[in-house]
Amino acid sequence: MADGYFPEGSMLRFVQSHRAVGHTYGQRALIIGATHPVPYVGTSDSTHAKERPFGRLASTAKVFETVFFGSTAEADRVLAQVAAMHRKVRGRLERDEGSFAAGTPYDAYDPTLMFWTMAMLADSSRVAFETLVRPLSRGEREDLWADWVRFGQLFGMPRSAAPATGLDFEEWMAAWFRSDRMHLTDEARVVGRAIARDMPVPITLRVGIRATNLVVQGMLPASVRRLYGLRWTPAHERAFRAAAAGVRRSQAVVPDRLRLGDNRGLHDLVIATERRRVAAGRPTMHLPVAG
């Protein structure tokens, strides 16, 4: 497949090619993803750069964009690299975390946890597109879901781990947001709040990033904002709606070369800025000490 796994015409490629989606869906996916303590702890315990959450976010986003937009050979190279890392992610919760008891196992190749990771991306991809670009028809939603399932399968997820249809998945996602199973570890709360509020960029881009952070927080379900203790007032809601409407209107006037494409430049900028912060003794966040 010289055109890649998601060639021109695929719904996933179409949705993710909009930079407004690429700039926001990853933040939202990580914030929501941390509400499930088992995959969060598994991921956290496997990294040696916890003080650099945005570097991890941006590096992961670059891998995903290679799969979205790259050739099959380019995608296969990064998929092999991810597989090598995932083979090392295995362990158990050391303490009770919400409804998940100490000793609960985690494994990057657990089909349920593989689905969870893909689900966060799929849900955030659709929400970001419909918030910032335009609504999708039912058929487009189903096509997008089928592509995200294919994406999960490329990373090793069995098809049987995911709901059969996009509508089934949307109902599953809504049930999670209503459930009492959402739980944040102490570390996840700190990390998620940092991701929602403090993306590291040069000072010249701070105003734009504040607007992006507002949009990301506005796209979160109210139950998730409450879990993190993110303040959200009617004024925040009005500002969010105005910002989202402005982005939607811009889709008709901004040139394609600025509106569409990958986000490598932003990802590299975030990685470099966070690295400079840490080197200067100003980490993005201060993690709680394990006790």
Question: Residue for token digits 């597109």?
Answer: 129
User: Percent of the chain scored above 90 by pLDDT?
Assistant: 69
> Counting beta carbons within 10 angstroms of the beta carbon of residue 175, is it exposed (0 to 12), middle (13 to 18) or buried (19 or more)?
exposed
To the nearest whole number, what is the mean pLDDT of the chain? 90
Q: What local confidence, expressed as pLDDT, does residue 50 receive?
A: 63
Q: Is the distance from CB of 195 to CB of 27 less than 8 angstroms?
A: yes
Q: Which tokens in the block code for residue 131? A: 């918030």
SS3 label, residue 65: helix
Residues 6+ apart with CB under 8 A from 247: 20, 132, 133, 215
Choice between 205 and 214, residue whose per-residue pLDDT is larger:
214
Under the banding of pLDDT at 50, 70 and 90, the label for residue 49 is low
pLDDT tens digit sequence for 223-263? 999 999 999 999 999 999 999 999 999 999 988 888 988 88
Distance CA 220, CA 130 (A): 13
Instruction: Calculate the CA dihedral of residues 94, 96, 101, 107 and round it to 10 degrees.
Output: -40
| From 174-178, 204-208, 278-282, the region with the lowest mean pLDDT | 204-208
Give alpha helix (H) positions in the chain: 11-16, 19-22, 25-33, 37-45, 53-69, 72-86, 111-132, 138-154, 166-178, 186-197, 206-218, 222-228, 234-250, 256-259, 264-279
pTM of the model: 0.91
